[in-house]
Structure 1
């Protein structure tokens, strides 16, 4: 099913517009949050200052006036009412209440209908009197129990004993109405206008900065699009454009100034790698086609030979002599044997060229492996009368490698030497320790005095199914994969192989293995 198309607004199509919108939203939300937080903390600050300035009002009143009679121990309501009126005239924010020892209001100068709560919690009052509180300290507002107000408080003594408390609320209705007026005042409007101007300036500056930052990304995005289009053209057989060359040059440009420059250089390096891998894929595809053609030819030849001789046996069975029948059978068996060798070598080479293949390293005696391999091939050596010699300083040469793979290297190189060495020839196996400042290794060389290899053929002898025009593989019972297998095994051991050869004088193969300490 096709994916539904999403119609995006033009405002959200580009990264720059998205960042600008995000910046505007962040500035608006942060400005509102700052304004509200500023108001809250300004209110807290004003309440703290107001409470500290008026903290001694209740104490001054209790010291200056007798609020409870000494004889009858009753509150003097007239004194309290007159005192409340005077206090509100002098300080409009103050409302005076006289509380008994339980916190119940026993006297005030306000209309009775305005009092909504008759009992005041004493914990804030005691904390205020003891000096344990941190300002601003709030208490219940008798006229509006849903709110708390800053206050001043003091004990009311009578004959030396505390008879109650004087509770002075420092946030009267007049004070609240003044606060509401301030909210719509000129200073508030100026604050809002100032924040708006700052926010607008920040938005303009942010948009300009985003444009400068996003411009290199826009250029890089266009280059990526052009590169993608170019690669699609390459897959259709079009010629390469100059874009890849310009991008790959960025990999060698001066050091990056910022992350965007690093991104451009990284993309240039990635482009160069993609181009290289693309070329490698084309080479691999050509090699695959060539391999399929070579495999088809090399498999078809022994198969056709075996099939032809077997068909001849069936058709002319009664006409053939015993010797001819035996000759045909031997030829068919030889062809099937060669076919089996070829399939085995192809299977082994494909396993060695797998991505996840890894040698199983272990420590072993190189001298023992050499003698074991020569002993296995001794019949082939004797059939041609070839003499072999092993040269080594001692028999305690241990290496760290995959013993089975190295044995296959020895087998293939010795068989190659047997194939191209004449009767009564010589093969020399030489092991020579080598040491450098960083590593110790054993140099291994296998040389013969055979037909040799021409200088034109030397660069190609490790290629799969390489055909020497002067010598037939079939004549030497070769699959054309032995040296390719040798090279791949040594590549897995990080050991390059070298070859020196002179026509009609012989060939020498050399490689090294790490010495086991």
Structure 2
């Protein structure tokens, strides 16, 4: 399973891991909270509305009672028990939930027709009563219930006066214990159930509508994020520091963010590679123009000489001029061929034909091609094969090119009477690979130049001094071919002691 499939699988492993699911959960919580809030607020509003309506409807009840009955005896200035009982009886008949109290000017309860043990207060606050009588406060206006000290209820009140003198107050609670008992019985009533059911249905419809809308809105974002993710995965080159390889997206937005970071990093890297490629192209053009100009000028010069002095040259001089021009012509052809080959390898147009073949046989055949050159410089070539046929899985024609370039380089830089060693040994780090070594006893490479030997035209200065036939592209071609085979080439060298190249090839096709 690749990284993309793992990311998508992990991203969908939780029911709330997608943006749509998160938005849906948030919508459910918001609408549910809103529904509960509406239900609680509606109940509170209904209670306030009922209290205000009750108080306004019964606004004049205390004033009416006070006008119809003599509640305080004039002679003794004491409450009339009979009058209070009569008032309470009439009030209970008219409105069973009212409770009537007679107060003095300070709010002390001086008369009522209720069981004495049920009245828990001896005095009630006078300020709400005065505000009710003055009409300075908005309804509903609540006062303290003598039978429930911790509860405030709506009331009606009237001042009791005699000859303009305030004698007390008539205090009528409009929601007594009978009202509370009835209200407790209505908590599970049909009306409350109907309100709750209506709010629940509205909440459910809102949730379903929101889920549908979210799905329609998020679907395009989800499709876009996955398209960008797939494009970044398959169309852009991957880098080791790619953030999309290091993390798993939790939802579509984070996937989109990771993909954007990945693509922006890769685009920046591509810009850097383009700048480097442009600089390399400029350098290549400069080097190519220099390398092509030298053999071309040589050919042109000797041919012009032949044309001008043809009649004065003897046969030996004419043959020498022609051989020099032919040598430069071959070098020009070799240089152009190497340039085309390297360009083809670097353009990724070369499709390697991997097959299983005998590496030892290829090495011996390639060495035979250089027999005359080795004999001409009296260089000894030792081939050490510890792997019998040494079967490997690679492109035989490209690997032949690798050995040709390495041997040609070794011959070119090894002095007469030197030694070239070519080894086929077991790879100590992997039983599935074969290690190849090519070493010589040449003059070596300095540590400063060693990191650049696989660059194009690295060997230009040395060729001009020593008349080496190499084009300077051989090692660059070797490096590119081994890159195609995913093989790493290493080099060790010491001045005046020689150079050694090492690389590995697989025995079998990679799984």
Task: Specify the TM-score bucket, using the shorter chain as the normaliser.
Answer: 0.5 to 0.7
**Alignment RMSD:** 3.8
* Contact 2:462–2:468 (CA under 8 A) maintained in structure 1: no
Structure 2 CA distance for aligned equivalents of residues 368 and 257 of structure 1: 56
The correspondence for 1:383, drawn from 364, 376, 383, is 376
Could you list the per-position Cα deviations for residues 88-144 of structure 1 after superposition, in whole angstroms to 9, with x for gaps in the alignment? Answer: xxxxxxxxxxxxxxxxxxxxxxxxxxxxxxxxxxxxxxxxxxxxxxxxxxxxxxxxx
Does residue 498 of the first structure (1) align with residue 498 of the second (2)? no
Say which structure, 1 or 2, has more relative contact order (CA 8 Å, 6+ apart).
Answer: 2
Structure 1 CA distance for aligned equivalents of residues 489 and 369 of structure 2: 24
Q: Provide the residue aligned with 2:474 in structure 1.
A: 482
Structure 2 CA distance for aligned equivalents of residues 252 and 360 of structure 1: 31
Does residue 451 of the first structure (1) align with residue 433 of the second (2)? no
* Contact 1:448–1:506 (CA under 8 A) maintained in structure 2: yes
* Contact 1:473–1:479 (CA under 8 A) maintained in structure 2: no
The correspondence for 2:499, drawn from 479, 482, 507, is 507
Worse-superposed segment, 445-454 or 291-300: 291-300
Q: Provide the residue aligned with 1:105 in structure 2.
A: none
The correspondence for 1:330, drawn from 280, 301, 323, is 323
Tell me: CA distance 1:415–1:477, structure 2 relative to 1, closer, same or farther (3 Å).
same
Structure 2 CA distance for aligned equivalents of residues 474 and 504 of structure 1: 16
Could you list the per-position Cα deviations for residues 161-189 of structure 1 after superposition, in whole angstroms to 9, with x for gaps in the alignment? Answer: xxxxxxxxxxxxxxxxxxxxxxxxxxxxx
Structure 2 CA distance for aligned equivalents of residues 401 and 338 of structure 1: 30
Provide the secondary structure at the position in 2 that maps to 1:443.
Answer: strand
Tell me: CA distance 1:254–1:383, structure 2 relative to 1, closer, same or farther (3 Å).
closer
TM-score by length of 2: 0.52
Does residue 343 of the first structure (1) align with residue 336 of the second (2)? yes
- Aligned pairs, number: 299
Q: Provide the residue aligned with 2:432 in structure 1.
A: 440
Could you list the per-position Cα deviations for residues 323-380 of structure 1 after superposition, in whole angstroms to 9, with x for gaps in the alignment? Answer: 2222211111111110010111111112222324221111221111111111111000
Does residue 259 of the first structure (1) align with residue 257 of the second (2)? no
Which runs of structure 2 are paired with 1:69-80 in the superposition (5 Å)?
A: none
* Contact 2:387–2:425 (CA under 8 A) maintained in structure 1: no
The correspondence for 1:298, drawn from 291, 304, 321, is 291
Q: Provide the residue aligned with 1:465 in structure 2.
A: 457
* Contact 1:358–1:492 (CA under 8 A) maintained in structure 2: no
Q: Provide the residue aligned with 1:278 in structure 2.
A: 271
Q: Provide the residue aligned with 2:122 in structure 1.
A: none
Provide the secondary structure at the position in 2 that maps to 1:301.
Answer: helix
Cα distance, 1:256 vs. partner?
3.7
Structure 2 CA distance for aligned equivalents of residues 317 and 461 of structure 1: 44
Does residue 354 of the first structure (1) align with residue 347 of the second (2)? yes
Structure 2 CA distance for aligned equivalents of residues 417 and 353 of structure 1: 24
* Contact 1:366–1:397 (CA under 8 A) maintained in structure 2: yes
Cα distance, 1:313 vs. partner?
0.9
Structure 2 CA distance for aligned equivalents of residues 299 and 260 of structure 1: 56
Tell me: CA distance 1:250–1:459, structure 2 relative to 1, closer, same or farther (3 Å).
closer
Provide the secondary structure at the position in 1 that maps to 2:256.
Answer: helix
* Contact 1:434–1:443 (CA under 8 A) maintained in structure 2: yes
* Contact 1:421–1:448 (CA under 8 A) maintained in structure 2: yes
Which runs of structure 2 are paired with 1:182-221 in the superposition (5 Å)?
A: 198=202, 202=206
Which runs of structure 2 are paired with 1:149-164 in the superposition (5 Å)?
A: none
Tell me: CA distance 1:485–1:253, structure 2 relative to 1, closer, same or farther (3 Å).
closer
Tell me: CA distance 1:370–1:249, structure 2 relative to 1, closer, same or farther (3 Å).
closer
Q: Provide the residue aligned with 1:287 in structure 2.
A: 280
Tell me: CA distance 1:427–1:265, structure 2 relative to 1, closer, same or farther (3 Å).
same
* Contact 1:256–1:262 (CA under 8 A) maintained in structure 2: yes
* Contact 2:459–2:472 (CA under 8 A) maintained in structure 1: yes
* Contact 1:386–1:423 (CA under 8 A) maintained in structure 2: yes
Cα distance, 1:394 vs. partner?
4.8
Q: Provide the residue aligned with 2:70 in structure 1.
A: none
Cα distance, 1:251 vs. partner?
5.6
Q: Provide the residue aligned with 1:319 in structure 2.
A: 312
* Contact 2:463–2:469 (CA under 8 A) maintained in structure 1: no
Provide the secondary structure at the position in 1 that maps to 2:464.
Answer: coil
Could you list the per-position Cα deviations for residues 284-326 of structure 1 after superposition, in whole angstroms to 9, with x for gaps in the alignment? Answer: 1111121112111111111111011101111122232322222
Structure 2 CA distance for aligned equivalents of residues 475 and 341 of structure 1: 15
Could you list the per-position Cα deviations for residues 190-219 of structure 1 after superposition, in whole angstroms to 9, with x for gaps in the alignment? Answer: 9xxx89x959x949x959x97xx99xx8xx
TM-score by length of 1: 0.52
Provide the secondary structure at the position in 1 that maps to 2:499.
Answer: strand
Tell me: CA distance 1:470–1:293, structure 2 relative to 1, closer, same or farther (3 Å).
closer
Provide the secondary structure at the position in 2 that maps to 1:486.
Answer: helix
* Contact 1:391–1:429 (CA under 8 A) maintained in structure 2: yes
